[in-house]
Structure 1
Amino acid sequence: MTSTVQMIIALVIAIIVLIYLLVKSRLNPFVSLIIGALLTGILGGMNPLKVIDAIKVGFGNTLSNLGILILFGVMIGKVLEVSGATQSLGKAFIKIMGDGHEILAMVITGFVTSLAIFCVPAFIMLFPLAKDISRRTKTSISALGIALAGGCLWSHTLVPPATGPIGGAGIFHADIAKMMLIGFIIGIPMAIFFTFYAKWLGTKYTKISNEEQVETAESSASTPSAVVSSLPIVIPVVLILLSSVLSKLQLGSIIQTIFSILGTPIVAMGLGLLFGVYTLLLKVDRKKVASALDEGIKGGANIFVLVAAGGALGNVVNQSGVGKIIAEGVAKSGIPAILLPFIIATLLRAIQGSGSVSILTTASITSPMVHTLGIDPVLATLAACVGSMFFSYYNDSYFWAINEAIGAENPREQMFNWSIPTTVCWAIGGIEIFILSLFLKG
C-alpha cells in the first residue's frame, strides 16, 4: 500500500469513526474531533508524537484567532437578552413594516437578533411576540413562527458575527467583512422564499394563537429603544465593513489607520459589547449583569473549544499531506471544487443534525485543500454554511424547538414546517454558491 492510499484510507476511516461518535456515542463533539484528529494522523502513517504536536498547534492557533471573538459574540447576545433589546427590536420592525406585513417583519426580526444570539434561544425569546401578533391580527401562528425561524436561520448560518459563520471563516482564513457582505446577499433570495412560503403555510395550517401576552408596566418602561438596542450589533458590523472599504482605497491617512484598528474584528466586537453593557444594562441590577455575562462566557467556552478542536483536526489533515492529495485529485477529476465543502457539510448535516458541527467539521477537513484548489476562502466557508442547511429533521434541536412552539405534533406538518423549507434554501444557496465560484477565485 502506497503512503498516498494509506493517508486517504486513514481520513475516510477517521471521518466514519467521527460521525459514529457524534451520532451514537456519549462523547461530546470536542472529544470526538480530537479522536478523529488522532486517527487521521496515526493511521495515515505520521509519527504519533508529531500527530500530538499538530493537534496542539492547530488547537492553539485556532483558539488564539477566534476565542475572544466568540466570547464577545455570545456576551453581546446575553446583553441583548437580559436588557429586553430583542423584544424591542421585534416590536420596532413590526411597527415599521405596518399592518399586513407582519410575516416579513418577523423574518427581519429573526435575522437581526440571530446575528448575536444562537437561533434556538433567539427563536424562543421572540416567539411570544409572534403569538401576540397572531392573536391580534388573526394571522396563522405557523406562518409567523416559520417566518421568524427562517430569519434566524439566515443570519445564524450565513452572516458573521454569528458564531457558526465566524468560526468557519476563522478556520478557512476568510475575510470577515467580505463574508458578512456576501453571506447577507446570498441569504436574500432565501428570505424572500421564506416570506412567501410562510404565507402559503398559513393557508394550509390556520391555527391562531389565543394566548394573552403578559407585560408589566415596569418591564415596558425599562425596555430600551429600538435604535439603542440595535447598536451592539450594528457597531461591529459597520466598523468591520468600513475598515475593509477604506483599506482598499489606500488613502494612507490617520483616519484610515484609526479605522483599520477599530475595524479589527476583536476591537469592533469589544466596542459593541462595551456599548451594550454601559447603555442597555444601566438599569439592570449589577449581580444580574455579572451573572448574565458569566453565562455568556460559559456558553462561549463550549463553542470555541469545539472550534479549536476542529482546528486541531484541520492541522493534522494539513500536516499529513492528505489534504493536498485530495485537492490534486479533485482538480484532475474535473469536479467543481466548490462542491467539496458543500457536499461534505450536507452529508454531515444529514447524519448528525447540528448545523454548527457540520460547518466547523467541514471547514476542518477541507481548509487544507482550499488554496490548492483555488477556491475563494469566503466561498468555501459559505459552501459549508449552505450545506449545513440541508433537510432539518428529528436529529436537529432547532427542528424540535420550532415545532414544539407552534404546536405541530403531526410528522407531516412538522416536515412542512421546517424540513422542506430548509432543503429549498439549501438548493437555492447551492446554486448561488456555484454561480459565484465561476467569478470569484482564491
Structure 2
Amino acid sequence: MQELSASYLLCVAAVAVVLLLFMIMKLKIHAFISLIIISFLTSLAANTPLDKILGVMLGGFGSTLASVALLVGIGAMIGKILEVSGGAQVLADTLIEFFGVQRAPFALGLASLIFAFPIFFDAGLIVMLPVILSVAHKLKGSVLTYALPSVGAFSVMHVFLPPHPGPVAAAATIDANVGWVLILGLIIGLPTWYFSSYLFGLYSGKKMYFKAPDLFEDEKIEIKHKPKFLTVIFILLTPVVLIFISAIISSMQKLEIIAKNDICFNVLNLIGQTPIALMITLIICIIVFNKSLGAKNLEKYCEKALPAICSVVLVTGAGGMFGGVLRASGIGDALAGTLANLGIPVILAGFIIAAIIRIAQGSATVALTTTAGLMAPIIAANTSIAEFDKVAIVLAIACGSVVCSHFNDSGFWLVKGLFGLDEKTTLKTWTMLETLIGVIGFVFILIILALFNLVF
C-alpha cells in the first residue's frame, strides 16, 4: 500500500469532520448513519485496502461497545431502580439541604471528584447520572448547570490521576515517578476543575437552558418508604470501593509487593473490574429494594431502563468506529512524527503532539500513551531533564490529550445522549469544557514548573 503524506492525511481528517458536521447539523441525517458513512469514506480516502475496510470499521465499533455497552446498560438499570425507589431523590434532597440550592452544582461536582478517583469516566458518569438528573428536575434549572461540573470532574480525574490507565502508562513509559504524578496531578487538577468545569458550568447554564431529560421517568408511583441516605451512599460507593481495591492490588502486584498468583488477591482484583463491580452493585440494588418494590416490578424497571439508552450506546459505538478508522489511517502518528522534529521545547511538544493525536483519533488514553511513547526517546537522550520535569511532561501530555473532544470521541456522544443535548450544544459545552481542562491545566503546569525551578 502506498504511503500517504502527513499533509494529505491531515486534509482527509479535516474534510471528514466538515462533512460530518454538514450531514448532522445541516442535512439533519441521524448521527448513527452519518458516522457510518463518513467512516467508510474516510477509509477509502486513507487508502485502506478494500478487503480490510469493514474489519477496521467493525473493530472500532466493537471495541467501543465492549467498553461502553455493559457499563451503560447495567448503570441504566441501577439508575432506574434508584429513581423509582426514591433513592436518587433522597440523595439530591440531602445534598441540596446541606450545601444549599445555590451550591448544588458545586456539591455534585465535589461528589463526582470523590467518586472519580478510582472509577473510569463513563462508569462514574453512569453512577452519578440519576442524582444529577434528580437535582436538575427538583431545582428546575438548566441541566448544563448540574451536569458540566460533574462530567468535568470525572474527565479531570480520569486524565490527570493514577490509577487511571493513561497517566500510569505515560509515567511508566517516560520513567516518571507515579507518586509525584498523583500529587502534582491533584494540585493541578482541582483548580483546573474549578475554573474549567464548575465556573464554566454555571456560565453555560445561565446562557443556555436545557430541560433535564426524563431518562429514568416512569409512571407516577407512590413511594411509601424511601430509602435512607446512608443506604443510597452505600450503593453508590460500592463500585467505587471495589474498583479502588482492584487498582491498589494491581499496583502492588506490578511492584511485586504481593504475589501475582495469590488466589485471594486475584479474586478481589477480578470483582473490582468495572463491569463486574457495577453488576455486583445492581444485585445489591435488587436485594435492597426487593421488599419495597417487589421482584416483578424490579424486573419491569430493569427492562424499561434499556430502551432509553439504546440510541446512546449505538451512536457512541459509531463514534468509536470513526475514531478507529482515523487511528488505522495513521493520521495522528504522521502528524506527531512531523511535529517531533521541529525542535520546540519538550514540554510544549508533548502538549501539542498529544492534542493533535487526540483531535485526529478521539481517545484521550490513546493520545496520552502514544505521545509518551514518541517523547520517551527524546527525554531519555536529554540528560538535563530532571525528575520533576518528567512528572511535569507527563501531565502536560495529559493536558494535550483531553482537548477538543468532538465527533470521533465516544465521550462526546455519551454526554450528548445522556443529557439530551443536540450536536451544536455539545460542541459549545462539552468540547469547550474539555479544551478548557487541557489549556488551563497546561498553564498551571508551566507556572508550577517555573516556581519549582526558581526555588530549587
Q: Same fold (TM over 0.5)?
A: yes
Separation in structure 2 between the aligned mates of residue 32 and residue 197 of structure 1, nearest angstrom: 30
Structure-to-structure mapping, 1:360-371, within 5 angstroms = 361=362, 370=371
Give the letter for the 1:247 counterpart. Answer: S
More displaced stretch, 57-66 vs 282-291: 282-291
Q: Does 1:93 align with 2:95?
A: yes
Q: 1:116 to 1:423 in 2, by over 3 A?
A: closer
| Aligned-partner residue type, residue 49 of structure 2 | N
Shift of 1:305: 2.1
Matches within 5 A, 1:402-441: 427=436, 430-432=439-441
- Who is 2:225 aligned against? 222
Partners of 1:284 and 1:34 in 2: how far apart?
41
1:275 corresponds to: 284
The alpha-carbon distance between structure 1 residues 344 and 123, as it changes in their structure 2 partners (threshold 3 A), is farther
Change beyond 3 A, Cα 1:323–1:150: closer
1:82 to 69, 84, 100: 84
For 1:380 and 1:281, locate their aligned partners in 2 and report how far apart those are by CA, in whole Å: 47
Give the corresponding residue for 2:19: 17
Task: Give the CA deviation at 1:433.
Answer: 5.0
Normalized against structure 1, the TM-score is what? 0.64
Instruction: Give the SS at the match of 1:228.
Output: helix
2:54 corresponds in structure 1 to 52
Paired residue type of 2:52: K
Given that 2:64 and 2:317 are in contact with CA atoms closer than 8 Å, whether structure 1 keeps it comes out as yes
CA contact (8 A) 2:365 2:401 kept: no
- On the 8 A contact 2:170/2:369 being kept in 1, the answer is no
Aligned-partner Cα distance in 2 for 1:297–1:47: 37
Counterpart of 1:70 in structure 2 is 72
Structure 2 equivalent of residue 318 of structure 1: 327
Matched, 1:61 2:74: no
Q: Is the 8 A contact 2:235 2:284 kept in 1?
A: yes
Q: Which residue of 2 aligns with 1:36?
A: 38
Q: CA deviation at 1:286?
A: 4.6
Task: Give the 3-state SS of the residue equivalent to 1:222 in structure 2.
Answer: coil
State the Cα distance separating 1:388 from its structure 2 match. 4.9
CA 1:424 to 1:309, structure 2 compared with 1: closer, same or farther past 3 Å? closer
| Mapped partners of 2:400, 2:327: distance in 1 | 20
Residues 261-272 of structure 1 correspond to what in structure 2 (within 5 A)? 261-272=270-281
Secondary structure class of the residue paired with 1:246: helix
What is the CA distance between 1:192 and its match in structure 2?
Answer: 4.7
Q: CA–CA distance in 1 between the matches of 2:126 and 2:40?
A: 33
Q: Is the 8 A contact 1:186 1:429 kept in 2?
A: no
Instruction: Provide the C-alpha distance between the structure 1 equivalents of 2:57 and 2:67, rounded to a whole number of angstroms.
Output: 16
Secondary structure in 2 aligned to 1:283?
helix
Alignment CA distance shift 1:34-1:373 (3 Å): farther
Superposed CA offset, 1:82-110 (max 9, x none): 2211111122234445xxx5533552246
* Equivalent residue, structure 1, for 2:152: 154
Rate the CA distance shift 1:231–1:385 in 2: closer, same or farther, 3 A: farther
Look up the match of 1:298.
307
CA displacement, residues 14-44 of structure 1 (integer Å, 9 cap, x when unaligned): 2221222232232222222222221222112
Contact 1:18/1:36, CA 8 A, preserved across alignment: yes
CA distance in 2, matches of 1:27, 1:118: 31
Match of 2:116 in 1: none
Q: Pairwise mapping of residues 112-131 of structure 1 onto structure 2 (< 5 A)?
A: 112=111, 115-117=124-126, 123-127=132-136, 129-130=138-139
Partners of 2:88 and 2:33 lie apart in 1 by 34
3-state DSSP of counterpart to 2:349: coil
Matching residue's letter, 2:25: V
Does 1:308 find its partner at 2:306?
no
Query: By how many angstroms is 1:270 displaced?
Result: 1.0
Q: 1:343 to 1:108 in 2, by over 3 A?
A: farther
User: Cα RMSD between the aligned structures?
Assistant: 5.1
Contact 1:314 1:364 in 2 (8 A): no
1:361-394 alpha-carbon deviations (Å, 9 max, x no partner): 56599689546545999987875656459xxxxx
1:357 maps to what in 2?
A: none
Deviation at 1:195, TM superposition (A): 7.1
- 1:103 counterpart = 2:106: no
- Partner of 1:303: helix, strand, or coil? helix
In structure 1, runs of 5+ residues without a counterpart are: 132-140, 161-167, 202-217, 349-359, 390-395, 403-414
1:240 offset after TM fit, Å?
1.0
**1:267 Cα deviation from its structure 2 partner:** 0.9
Identify if the C-alpha distance between structure 1 residues 368 and 307 changes in structure 2 by more than 3 Å, giving closer, same or farther: farther
Alignment check: 8 A CA contact 2:404 2:435 kept: yes
Picking from 234, 244, 247, the partner of 1:244 is 247
Separation of aligned partners in 1, 2:368 and 2:24? 21
CA distance in 1 between counterparts of 2:203 and 2:32 reads 41
Partner of 1:410: none
Using the alignment, how far apart are the partners of 2:322 and 2:399 within structure 1? 20
The answer on whether the counterparts of 1:232 and 1:276 sit within 8 Å (CA) in structure 2 is yes
Aligned residue in 2 for 1:26: 28
| 8 Å CA contact 2:351, 2:399 repeated in 1 | no
Deviation at 1:318, TM superposition (A): 3.0
- Give the TM-score taking structure 2 as reference length: 0.62
Partner letter of residue 292 of structure 1?
Y
Structure 1 residues 271 and 365: CA distance shift in structure 2, 3 A: closer
Q: Which residue number in structure 2 is paired with residue 233 of structure 1?
A: 236
What letter corresponds to residue 67 of structure 2 in structure 1? N
Asked if the contact 2:192–2:440 (Cα under 8 Å) also holds between the matched residues in 1, the reply is: no
Matched with 1:336 is 349
Contact conserved, 2:188 with 2:444, CA < 8 A, in 1?
no
* Distance in 1 between residues matched to 2:203 and 2:314, nearest whole Å: 41
Map of 2:454 onto structure 1: none
Letter in structure 2 aligned against 1:324:
D
Q: How many residues align?
A: 369
Identity of aligned residues (%): 22
- Which amino acid in the other structure matches residue 427 of structure 1? L
